[in-house]
Amino acid sequence: MIKQLVLASNNAGKLREFGELMAPLGIDILPQSQLGVSEADEPHFTFVENALAKARHAAQHAKLPAFADDSGICVAALHGEPGVHSARFAGNPKSDPRNNEKLVTLLQSQTDRRAHYYCAVVLVRHAQDPEPLIAEGRWHGEIIATPRGDGGFGYDPYFFVPALGKTAAELPAEEKNAISHRGQALRRLIAMLRERENI
């Protein structure tokens, strides 16, 4: 049975969200930085391939089971961009303010503001695991021009959910985790893990 899992990310927001969602399983979540694991390359065109590459990289270096997500925002008017390039949409180094500024600028003349967050989560028992667990989630909304809220991270202040009348950044963490793309994907992963590990 899995007792420890390496999270193949150095993102504090993701670590917090994943830790809260995984707590009921009693699995100790270790950030890869704590184990001296470097960030993996993400050269692929799909979220699933990037998440798998990150999970395998962390498992290989930490010699422990590992999981990773690759997530981003896909905007209809931009043909799915920024997609897998969400974290570095405005170039290096990563910058949420610059990414958001670029997105809002590109959408200034667009009437179609539809967007969705997408998340792929992958878990491997070891680096060569031939049966990785793969789960996904989508969260639909639209991009607004003026940020609202001070919670969340990334594009959250600009990601408006019409059904709630709020942006992702205005939602309490518990409510966001219940409906977000990452929350959806992780709950599906947890269900798969419970079935496989008899937790």
**Secondary structure letter of residue 82 according to DSSP:** B
Mean pLDDT, residues 27-32 taken together? 90
For 60-80, the pLDDT digits (tens) are 999 999 999 999 999 999 999
**pTM of the predicted protein model:** 0.91
Q: Using CA atoms, how far apart are residues 144 and 94, in angstroms rounded to an integer?
A: 21
For 114-133, the pLDDT digits (tens) are 999 999 999 999 999 999 99
Residue in the structure block whose two tokens are 């798969």: 192
Which of 93, 49, 87, 44 has the alpha carbon at shortest distance from 68? Answer: 49
Q: Catalytic: which of 41, 69, 70, 150? A: 70
Least confident of 11-20, 132-141, 177-186: 11-20
150 is catalytic: no
The SS3 call for residue 39 is coil
Domains delineated in the chain: 4-197 (3.90.950.10)
